[in-house]
Amino acid sequence: AFSQNRDFTTDDIVEAASQMIPLARTAREQIQHLQQWAESGRARLASRQGGIGRSLS
């Protein structure tokens, strides 16, 4: 829309969203490395057990 000098539409947003690639896919190895690093005891959860930190593994 910007390059066509017009306001964007819902279709533009849907098209852009369909082309997005999640970081979980593009940075899988880096994320796994960080999870292993955290699980090795070099980091601690910011919240108590059962909080959001548990959903990271």
Q: How far is CA 16 from CA 10, 22, 51, in A?
A: 10, 13, 33
Q: Is residue 3 part of a domain?
A: no
Per-residue confidence (pLDDT) for residue 9, from 0 to 100:
97
Distance CA 54, CA 23 (A): 19
Overall domain count for the chain: 1
Rounded to two decimals, the pTM is 0.52
Per-residue confidence (pLDDT) for residue 43, from 0 to 100:
85
Q: Is residue 4 part of a domain?
A: no
CA 43 to chain centre: 20
Q: What is the pLDDT of residues 8-57, one digit of tens each?
A: 999 999 999 999 999 999 999 999 999 999 999 888 888 876 655 555 55
Q: How many CB atoms lie within 10 A of CB 19?
A: 6
Q: Is residue 39 part of a domain?
A: yes
Range of the domain at 35: 10-56
